Amino acid sequence: MTTHPSIPLERRVVALLLCAFGGLFAAVGSSAFIRPGSPWAALALLPLLAAPLCHGALARRLPAAWDGLRRARPLLCALWLLLALAALGRSAGVGLYMADPQRPQASAIWFDPFYVNHSCLSGYWKAAELSHTPGLNIYQERPYEGKQDRFKLDEYLYPPQFLLLPRAASALLGTPADSFLPLRALWFALDATLLAGAMLALCAWIGGAAGRRAALLLPAVWLALPTLVTLQTGNFQLPAIALSVLAMLLFQRGRALAGGALLALAMVKIFPAILCAYLLFTRRWRALACSVAFSLLFLAAGWAVLGAQPFRDFIGYELPRIASGELWAWLELEGLEGVVAINHSVPGLVFKLRLLGLPGMDHHMMANAAWVWSLALLTIAWLAARHAGAGARPASLVGANTGAGAAADAADTPTARLRLAALWIALLGLAALRSPFTPDDYALFPALWLWCLLAAAAPAGAAISAALALLWLALAPVMPFSLAAPAQLPALLALSTASQLAALALCLWFALRRPSDLARTTRRPQHGDSNTSPFPPAGAMSPARTDSPL
């Protein structure tokens, strides 16, 4: 009879937490299929209750390098556990609000009426419903006046083919036209699962001690308000970023078809197309061709399902308003200064200068700034591609016995993978700031993910740890602007602009720095960093190493 060694407590705790998160997402998603108040509503709790039963198998796959950390670094382990439990608790609160909108006290920012009653998903859902009406322009403002349940309807601003996603989700629910609340719960569960999966997959791909440290820092990213608030509002920003990162991981593994499908799906949000420019500049022709082909396929599917009318309206009505800046002219209205203050987009700086009294800062100037930033993004992508070098291409694409192949192998280390992953996220973060209106809730998430990778690679030291903590504090809040009185506007503008510039600087730093420059700011490779798998052999554990804990 074969006996299995007992699993150390450290891995059991991490596995239990991961299963609890998964059970939470599954429970909220299950609630979408059960009518509130029915005797079967308790079934939605089964995934949450069953989660601990599967933690053993997961614990065996977690890094053995974590074994013994509670004795080697008890204080750090206790702090990490508190952080992870806080992230789980806050996620449970948001999940409860997604399953039951009558519990606003559980929402991410429960004291701000705007965020309690705001749902970006409402615009997607409403446009999907309106798309069934022949001849109706889904981009006009009038159909979005009023509320759906407690939520003010958002306008729809995306290309028509995006509507295939809410339509598919609504079809999965099989509910009639009042399907918004069930869709809201299901959308949250899918978004959270996708985002968590992408973040863990990236840590696994990075591998080694760098990947393990990044994985342990993920609760800090999840706990930050930009993550929780964006998951609560249902904006597609986080899924688009997650899909884009997963696509780049698949490209690195040589799976161009699957990666192209995911990147094309992400590009319905438009800004992930910056990665197509990056693929072009790094001469990843197959990955680029698959991405473009699947984008055309999604467009054709949208045309077949939705008809030609939404596409004619998008090209003839919506695009001119976007190009001229007319779509964002409402930011000039009196009384919306707080909204202007929390806008983190680069063109949005135009209206912030308007608040400071600079003349000529209108929506036309904002549109011009958006086009200038578009050209700057292409330049940044070109420079990033040059700096990425051999590491931007899978080693399988380069001759293993050539000098280029040796360079690619040398670049395929956990530290190099971390820098490459940070470059992708930085490009996505910069491209997301091209939209004239990018509020702080979802604008700050790419910078938070970069913070995680930066902290995972940073040398140990009290001064560096303090600086990283301050940076997290600058990126983690979301400003409750609806509670800001006119007298508080200067403080709101100053705090919001400070976090905006910090996020912008972090993204630019990762996108433009050369690998040799980055290497001087990362911790030196130690034993275990050469292991590209995040799951080292059992004998590789060494609790006394400086690279083993957070």
Q: Is the pLDDT of residue 427 over 80?
A: yes
Phi and psi angles of residue 376, each rounded to the nearest 5 degrees, phi first: -65, -40
> Comparing 415-429, 465-479, 527-541, which segment has the lowest mean pLDDT?
527-541
Range of the domain at 298: 107-525
Q: Three-state SS for 343?
A: strand
Q: Is the pLDDT of residue 537 over 50?
A: no
Q: Does residue 51 lie within any of the structural domains? A: no
DSSP per-residue string spanning 285-332: HHHHHHHHHHHHHHHHHHHHHH-SHHHHHIIIIIHHHHHHTGGGGGGG
How buried is residue 489: exposed, middle or buried, by Cβ count under 10 Å (0-12/13-18/19+)?
A: middle
Strand partners for 546? none
Query: Tens digit of pLDDT for each residue in 137-196?
Result: 999 999 999 898 899 999 999 999 999 999 998 888 876 556 899 999 999 999 999 999
Q: Residue 410 and residue 390: Cα distance in Å, rounded? A: 9
pLDDT for 387: 84
Phi and psi angles of residue 147, each rounded to the nearest 5 degrees, phi first: -130, 160
How buried is residue 512: exposed, middle or buried, by Cβ count under 10 Å (0-12/13-18/19+)?
A: middle
pLDDT for 175: 62
pLDDT for 411: 61
Q: Residue 26 and residue 29: Cα distance in Å, rounded? A: 5
pLDDT for 208: 94
pLDDT for 412: 78
Q: Residue 88 and residue 219: Cα distance in Å, rounded? A: 8
Q: Residue 411 and residue 106: Cα distance in Å, rounded? A: 46
Q: Calculate mean pLDDT across residues 257-286.
A: 96
Q: What's CA 483's distance to the chain center, in Å?
A: 27
Beta strands at 147-148 and 151-152: parallel, antiparallel or unpaired: antiparallel
HSE at residue 145, side-chain half, CA atoms within 13 A, is 4
In order of 182, 264, 306, 407, 495, the CA distances from 93 in angstroms are 17, 33, 37, 48, 27
Q: Is the pLDDT of residue 410 over 70?
A: no
> Comparing 17-26, 246-255, 393-402, which segment has the lowest mean pLDDT?
393-402
Q: Give 56's pLDDT tier (boundaries 50, 70, 90).
A: confident
Q: Three-state SS for 439?
A: strand
Q: Does residue 397 lie within any of the structural domains? A: yes
Q: Residue 242 and residue 425: Cα distance in Å, rounded? A: 10
Q: Calculate mean pLDDT across residues 519-547.
A: 39
Q: Calculate mean pLDDT across residues 491-520.
A: 85
Give the chain's domain count: 1
Q: Is the pLDDT of residue 249 over 70?
A: yes
Q: Does residue 430 lie within any of the structural domains? A: yes
pLDDT for 170: 86
DSSP per-residue string spanning 135-174: T--TTSSGGG-SEETTEEPPPP-S-GGGGHHHHHHHHHHT
Q: Residue 426 and residue 440: Cα distance in Å, rounded? A: 16
Q: Is the pLDDT of residue 534 over 90?
A: no
Query: What percentage of the chain has pLDDT greater than the value 70?
Result: 84
Q: Is the pLDDT of residue 396 over 70?
A: no
Q: Calculate mean pLDDT across residues 398-417.
A: 60
> Comparing 283-292, 478-487, 529-538, which segment has the lowest mean pLDDT?
529-538
> Comparing 86-100, 177-191, 525-539, which segment has the lowest mean pLDDT?
525-539
Q: Is the pLDDT of residue 550 over 50?
A: no
Q: Does residue 25 lie within any of the structural domains? A: no
Residue 274 contacts residue 377 (beta carbons within 8 Å): yes
> Comparing 186-195, 247-256, 328-337, which segment has the lowest mean pLDDT?
328-337
Q: Give 487's pLDDT tier (boundaries 50, 70, 90).
A: confident
> Comparing 250-264, 366-380, 507-521, which segment has the lowest mean pLDDT?
507-521
Residue 354 contacts residue 361 (beta carbons within 8 Å): yes
Q: Residue 98 and residue 32: Cα distance in Å, rounded? A: 9
> Comparing 3-17, 88-102, 218-232, 306-320, which segment has the lowest mean pLDDT?
3-17
Q: Is the pLDDT of residue 530 over 90?
A: no
Q: Is the pLDDT of residue 522 over 70?
A: no
pLDDT for 58: 85
Q: Does residue 271 lie within any of the structural domains? A: yes
Q: Calculate mean pLDDT across residues 191-205.
A: 97
Q: Which two tokens stand for residue 339?
A: 């909204």
Phi and psi angles of residue 343, each rounded to the nearest 5 degrees, phi first: -75, 120
Q: Does residue 43 lie within any of the structural domains? A: no
Query: Tens digit of pLDDT for each residue in 350-392?
Result: 999 999 989 989 989 999 999 999 999 999 999 999 988 656 6
Q: Residue 374 and residue 507: Cα distance in Å, rounded? A: 15
Q: Calculate mean pLDDT across residues 43-56.
A: 69
Strand partners for 485? none
Q: Which two tokens stand for residue 440?
A: 């702080």
Q: Is the pLDDT of residue 531 over 80?
A: no
Q: Calculate mean pLDDT across residues 488-512.
A: 94
**Amino acid identity of 289?**
A
Q: Residue 426 and residue 428: Cα distance in Å, rounded? A: 5
The alpha-carbon radius of gyration of the chain (Å, integer) is 23
Q: Residue 228 and residue 88: Cα distance in Å, rounded? A: 11
The crossing angle, in degrees rounded to 10, of helices 121-130 and 180-206 is 120
Q: Does residue 381 lie within any of the structural domains? A: yes
Q: Calculate mean pLDDT across residues 41-68.
A: 77
Tallying the residues shown for the chain, one arrives at 550
Phi and psi angles of residue 396, each rounded to the nearest 5 degrees, phi first: -65, -20
Q: Does residue 70 lie within any of the structural domains? A: no
- Contacts from 245-248 at CB under 8 Å and sequence distance 24+? 245/198, 245/201, 245/202, 245/421, 245/424, 245/425, 245/428, 246/197, 246/198, 246/201, 247/275, 247/291, 248/275, 248/421, 248/424
Residues of the chain by 3-state class (helix, strand, coil), percent to 5? 70, 0, 30
Query: Tens digit of pLDDT for each residue in 459-483?
Result: 888 899 999 999 999 999 999 888 7
Q: Three-state SS for 118?
A: strand
The mean predicted confidence, pLDDT, of the chain is 86
Q: Give 5's pLDDT tier (boundaries 50, 70, 90).
A: low
Tokens 């001119």, residue? 320
Q: Is the pLDDT of residue 93 over 80?
A: yes
Q: Is the pLDDT of residue 444 over 90?
A: yes
Q: Which two tokens stand for residue 219?
A: 């609760």
Q: Calculate mean pLDDT across residues 412-429.
A: 94
Angle at Cα 54 formed by Cα 49 and Cα 59, nearest 5°? Answer: 130
